[in-house]
Copies of this chain bind each other. A is one copy, B any other.
Amino acid sequence: MTEIRGWATHGPGQKLEPFSYNPGPLGSEEIEIAVEYCGLCHSDLSIINNDCAISEYPVIPGHEAIGKIVAMGEQGKGLKIGQRVGVGWNADSCMHCHGCMTGNSNLFTVALPTITGHHGCFADRVRFHWILAIPLPDTLDIASAGPLLCGGITVFSPLVTFGVKPTDRVGIVGISGLGHMGLKFANAWGCEVTAFTSHESKPDEAKGFGAHHVVSNSDSGGMQKIASSLDMLIVTVNTPLDWTELLKTLKPNGHLHVVGTVLEPMPIPAIDLTFGQKSVSGSPTCDSTTIATMLDFAARHNIVPQVEHFPMSKVNDAIEHLSAGNARCRIVLDADFGRLN
């Protein structure tokens, strides 16, 4: 078995270095892909830096990968060698508990994240459970699609989970990595879309991504104008916000949904929920079938994230670029281990 070559960090905040490991014999339910592209996501930074105290070093980050199947265990089903697939946040799950058996494998603690306790996709190859391989629509732009596999599904998921209707009004807070994909999805979903941004300079950019309206969080007049108008507000940023003000933008029965990793507890007044029968909720990524559905929708609506490319060998430059807040909007690393494709 050839060693897998990747890029790993050995401790919080340390630079990534070349790192090889022996993957051992292929499990009967595993597949192995040769990585072609992999998105660089904020959660890679969190795991690199051990922000959530769950990292297991050495960490090979990368959980938005696209590549071709090069090996498949004898229990793999519905896939074939040479087929191009994607993999996202999760690499394995027990596949027999109630959650896994009802399409919610991603929500249960039995799920194994691709980059914690498992070597991720900033590597020439990666292995994962065949059920978590996402077949790709033929028309998908594979060089840009990687970030859909985690970031994209994260903002797509609430549209599905809450049964958002094309007649609904949807707000997206933040128009960067996650938010710009949220704008594209909500627009293609048929909704009237409002982008919320703290940057005065971004209205044209937000409209380019699909926003019909752009409101600055700090413009009280603008916030008042859209009061009680939104069915759903998806918060994609990870900074504390004025939750009471944001709840006011919701219609009765409206949902404020958080997908950014806001670390400080949100002080939510109960009365702001009860009077208008509102909710505050959150979600991570999705199970593989919903990711496949999302990719199909994305391909049909020509939705890809706006990406910047770095060769994978320049992963540390890419990390610095993202950490400094300079990425517009997502980063994709192109695998350059010299023997792929």
Contacts and interface: CB of A to CB of B under 8 A. Distances in A.
A281 B276 contact: no
Contacts of A271: 52, 261-263, 282
Contacts of A278: 281-282
A268 B266 contact: yes
Interface string A250-274: 0011010011111101111111111
Interface in A91-132: 99, 104, 107-108
Nearest to A99: B252
In the complex this chain forms, how many copies of it are found?
A: 2
A267 B266 contact: yes
A284 B277 contact: yes
B280 A284 contact: no
Contacts of A261: 270-271, 274
Nearest to A235: B270
11 contacts: A99-B252, A104-B252, A161-B277, A266-B269, A268-B268, A270-B282, A272-B282, A273-B280, A273-B282, A274-B283, A279-B281
Interface of A: 52, 99, 104, 107-108, 161, 252-253, 255, 258-263, 265-284
